[in-house]
């Protein structure tokens, strides 16, 4: 807030504080050395100067008085300048109050603008959440569903399960396919992997497609039935073909010839297997096919499309929650920053006016420091005169002059100021108005924050159609 910085700069530009820094430092020992009082006293004393009948201060004493008087005059000038600054500050109290009031109103307006900005930014996620919820509601009503959708466990897990199924079947069949293969166990493993991949992946995909049997639409039911029928045919044909191929290998038929004869053997007598290994191979392949089909059936929700509808709703909820959290976090930061700056400006103005009142009416530390400074001037002067006179008297052969018995004192400086009670009251009233304006702005900012949080509809409110427009009146009543 640039205007708050301006207010602070007005109050701090004079750099006046009611401390001893206003008055110059009087270092008596440094003055003693600079004026060379000890040597001057001895030299003039040996010459019996000033004369025994001298009644006025000599040139050394006059020099001492002049140095202290210059410092005293500087201090008094600083004091008067400070009082003038405080007087101007007090005169500016009304203007400062208006500036702070303007800042307070702007802070409230800026915060409300930020609130409205976030409401507009959340429109997209709010609408999507409402629409996806309504879509799921319609989907459930259309299919007479009351249960939640089955949660999809992820493609990674599905891929791992597929690899495990393929690897397990291939490992079990590798030895059986290696017999008669020119490449031995490696060739048998490769052949087993190919058959297992076709068996597992085909059964898995057809299991997913066969879920259409659960759909309410006739076309989807037909599609699901066809997928189930294709799986039955594929699984039976593939595993029986593999079993006949293995049977031909056991009959000492060559590998390439067994590949060519496996399908005709299946067509002529599907279950005419003569080898126990072939029946075992058929059992393993059929079991893996069934398990893969069931895994595909249960990968998503048994009702096609239900998992996707549920996932879309979850994503919409997550996006809405993310926007909500971001909005609340940013508005909270803006709120605290605005309040801190307003409170700081309020304190700056009140402190400035209070110090000005104290300074002008003699109740601040500035006046007490002035009194200490003036007393110090008298004390330092007496000390330096004593140093010079003692050094002079200690070497004189004549009596000391009457002037050495005279103590010098500066004129009294009057600090009393006739108090203008109406002006004091007006300044204090201005300070109170500043605080009242800041308090009102802080309350308005808090109210805007509270209303914003209430108007940022929660997911359950959005889902029921209670958008920010409908939540608004409820928020105003709460306010």
Q: Is 453 exposed, middle or buried (0-12, 13-18, 19+ CB in 10 A)?
A: middle
Write the pLDDT tens digit of every residue in 272-307.
777 777 787 788 888 888 888 888 877 777 777 777
Separation between Cα atoms, residue 469 and residue 454, nearest integer Å: 11
Please compute the mean of the pLDDT values over residues 325-334 and round it to a whole number. Answer: 84
pLDDT bracket for residue 258 (50, 70, 90): low
pLDDT bracket for residue 309 (50, 70, 90): confident
Q: pLDDT at position 464, please? A: 66
Most confident residue range from 74-78, 269-273, 464-468: 74-78
Write the pLDDT tens digit of every residue in 142-165.
877 777 776 666 677 777 877 787
pLDDT bracket for residue 478 (50, 70, 90): very low
Residues of the chain with pLDDT > 70, as a percent, come to 76
pLDDT bracket for residue 4 (50, 70, 90): low
**Which residues are CB-neighbours of 253 under 8 A, at least 6 positions away?**
261
Write the pLDDT tens digit of every residue in 354-392.
766 766 665 566 777 888 888 889 999 999 999 999 999
Q: pLDDT at position 360, please? A: 63
> pTM for this structure?
0.49
Separation between Cα atoms, residue 323 and residue 128, nearest integer Å: 12
Of 119-123, 151-155, 174-178, 465-469, least confident by mean pLDDT is 465-469
- Ordered by start, the domain boundaries in the chain are 2-120+318-478, 153-299
Q: pLDDT at position 387, please? A: 93
For residues 386 and 447, the model is more confident at 386
Q: pLDDT at position 474, please? A: 36
Please compute the mean of the pLDDT values over residues 417-426 and round it to a whole number. Answer: 66
Q: pLDDT at position 14, please? A: 43
Q: pLDDT at position 17, please? A: 41
Q: Give which of 169, 211, 160 is closest to 192, Cα–Cα.
A: 169
Residue 468, pLDDT > 70, answer no
Residue 188, pLDDT > 70, answer no
């Amino acid at each position: 807030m640039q205007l708050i910085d301006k207010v602070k700069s007005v109050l701090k530009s004079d750099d006046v504080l009611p401390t001893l820094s206003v008055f110059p430092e009087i270092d008596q020992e440094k003055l003693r050395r600079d004026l060379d009082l000890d040597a001057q006293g001895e030299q003039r004393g040996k010459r019996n100067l000033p004369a025994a009948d001298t009644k006025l201060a000599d040139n050394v004493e006059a020099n001492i008085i002049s140095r202290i008087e210059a410092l005293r005059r500087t201090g008094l000038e600083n004091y008067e300048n400070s009082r003038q600054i405080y007087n101007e500050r007090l005169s500016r109290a009304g203007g400062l109050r208006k500036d702070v009031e303007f800042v307070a109103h702007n802070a409230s307006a800026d915060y409300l603008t930020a609130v409205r900005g976030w409401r507009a930014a959340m429109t997209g996620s709010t609408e999507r959440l409402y629409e996806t919820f309504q879509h799921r509601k319609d989907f459930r009503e259309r299919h007479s569903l009351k249960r939640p959708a089955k949660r999809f466990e992820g493609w990674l897990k599905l891929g791992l399960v597929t690899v495990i199924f393929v690897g397990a079947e291939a490992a079990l069949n590798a030895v059986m396919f290696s017999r008669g293969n020119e490449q031995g166990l490696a060739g048998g493993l490769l052949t087993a992997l190919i058959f297992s991949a076709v068996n597992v992946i085909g059964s898995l995909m057809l299991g997913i497609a066969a879920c259409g049997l659960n759909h309410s639409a006739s076309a989807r039911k037909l599609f699901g039935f066809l997928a189930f029928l294709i799986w039955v045919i594929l699984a039976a044909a593939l595993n029986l073909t593999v079993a006949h191929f293995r049977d031909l290998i056991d009959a000492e038929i060559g590998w390439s010839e067994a590949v060519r004869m496996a399908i005709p053997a299946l067509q002529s007598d599907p279950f005419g297997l003569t080898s126990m290994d072939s029946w075992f191979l058929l059992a393993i392949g059929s079991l893996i096919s069934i398990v893969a089909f069931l895994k595909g059936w249960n990968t998503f929700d048994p009702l096609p499309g239900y998992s996707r509808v549920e996932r879309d709703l979850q994503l919409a909820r997550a996006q809405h929650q993310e926007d909500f959290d971001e909005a609340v976090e940013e508005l909270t930061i803006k709120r605290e920053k605005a309040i801190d700056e307003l409170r700081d400006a309020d304190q700056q103005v009140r402190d400035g006016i209070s110090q000005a009142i104290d300074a002008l009416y003699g109740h601040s530390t500035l006046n007490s420091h002035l009194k200490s400074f003036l007393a110090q001037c008298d004390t330092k002067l007496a000390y330096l005169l004593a140093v010079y006179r003692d050094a002079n008297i200690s070497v004189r052969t004549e009596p000391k002059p009457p002037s050495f018995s005279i103590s010098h004192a500066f004129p009294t400086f009057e600090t009393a100021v006739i108090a203008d009670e109406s002006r004091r009251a007006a300044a204090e009233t201005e300070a109170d108005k500043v605080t009242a304006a800041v308090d009102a702005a802080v309350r308005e900012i808090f109210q805007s924050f509270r209303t914003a949080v209430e108007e940022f509809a929660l997911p359950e409110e959005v889902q029921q159609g209670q958008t920010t427009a409908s939540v608004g009146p409820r928020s105003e009543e709460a306010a």
